[in-house]
Amino acid sequence: METQADNRSELNRALKAIGLLLLAILCFDMMSLLVRMLSARYAPPELSAYRNVLGLVPSLALLIWTGELRLRGSSLKIENWPLAIGRGFAVALAQLFFYTALSRLELATVATLGQTNALFVVLLSVILLGERVGPWRIGALLLGFVGVVWILRPGSDAFTVAALFPVGAAFCYAFSMVTVRFFGPDVSNGLLYLYSSAAAAVGAIILAAFTTEFTQLQSPADVGLIFAMGILGGTGVLFMMLAYRSAAPSILAPFGYFGILSAFVFGWFFFGEAPVATLFPGVLLIVGAGGLIMWREGRTGR
């Protein structure tokens, strides 16, 4: 009976985590829609700055409410603080790439190329952490690379430099994910997240200051849309963080690909986008590569 209760508890936690992940994807999709709408009047760097600053609100609210973030003197210090700040700047750069891509490409194309994140995680784990790569993961990397090349189509008339932005965003996000392994168990998730979020906000403001001029907000409606964009982005990050703290990545990873389908539906419904010819069959190779990595990680118990 005790084993059955434990299994039921594990199943409930997994279902809760999957629900949180799907909510996170929905938040990101709605944020992407707002970015696309606002990019007609505001540059991607300033939208990224607004999002990172406003995205601190739900994050800090939850961390303070749960007691994980304790704002007391020495409790805010991290030994490897330069890397903690560097991770935040990497996130700011990823946001800039991501928002620029949203202003120039179809939603489904951005979502698909963003799934290369899993491939970059494996690659950076080898370079930065010295992990060994077996034939399965090498095969997955090659499969995903072929999928990306198939979608980008370099050298053809269909190739655009803008298509490199979501790949760049995926690389920066992967760097932020892999480098978290350099922090010991004595560093709380809340404190590490605070460093990353604050640095991302500062980095986004600096990037915007050097790459564009802030436009005067044109209407109260735009103020509301920008506020909603920032809150949705921050809430999505929170939902994703809670999901991955509740279940193993190997369980959640397959559901992450739901973001490709939802982005396709949102792009088709709101903007009349249907980039089927662009995405297929490259999308199948990228999804297959990510699924192969997750399956292999699950088999090896990582």
Is the pLDDT at 101 greater than 90? The verdict is yes
Residue 69 pLDDT: 59
Checking if the pLDDT of 260 tops 60, the result is yes
pLDDT band at 3 (very low <50, low <70, confident <90, very high): low
How many CA within 13 A on the CB side of residue 61? 9
As a whole-number percent, the residues of the chain with pLDDT over 90 amount to: 29
pLDDT of 30 reads 95
Top-confidence residue, 87 or 158? 87
DSSP 163: G
Tokens 């089927």 sit on residue: 276
* In contact, 35 and 103? CB cutoff 8 Å: yes
**pLDDT reading at 2 higher than 70:** no
3 half-sphere exposure, CB direction, 13 A CA radius: 0
Residue-wise DSSP of 204-259: HHHHHHHH--PPPP--HHHHHHHHHHHHHHHHHHHHHHHHHHHS-HHHHHHHHTHH
Task: List pLDDT tens digits, range 49-60.
Answer: 999 998 888 777
HSE-CB of 191 using CA atoms within 13 angstroms: 18
Q: Is pLDDT of 155 > 70?
A: no
Which among 215, 263, 293, 230 is positioned nearest to 40, based on CA atoms?
215
How much is the pLDDT for 156?
Answer: 60
Query: What confidence category does residue 282 fall into, taking pLDDT thresholds of 50, 70 and 90?
Result: confident
pLDDT attached to residue 43: 94
For the chain, domain boundaries: 2-300
Q: How many CB atoms lie within 10 A of CB 1?
A: 5
The predicted pLDDT at position 1 comes to: 47
With a CB cutoff of 8 Å and minimum separation 6, the contacts of 298 are 248, 250
- pLDDT at site 301: 55
**149, pLDDT greater than 80:** yes
- Report pTM: 0.84
Dihedrals φ, ψ of 49, to 5°? -65, -45
Structure tokens given for 163: 């298509």
pLDDT band at 5 (very low <50, low <70, confident <90, very high): low
Assess whether pLDDT exceeds 60 at residue 302.
Answer: no
Average pLDDT over residues 226-237: 89
Q: Average pLDDT in the 38-66 region? A: 85
Higher pLDDT, 4 or 34: 34
Query: Tens digits of per-residue pLDDT, 167-222?
Result: 999 999 889 888 887 887 777 766 777 788 889 999 999 999 998 888 889 899 99
Stated as kind and residue range, the H or E segment containing 38 is helix 2-38
- Confidence band (pLDDT; 50, 70, 90) for 72? low
Percent of the chain with pLDDT over 70: 85
At 66 the pLDDT is: 62
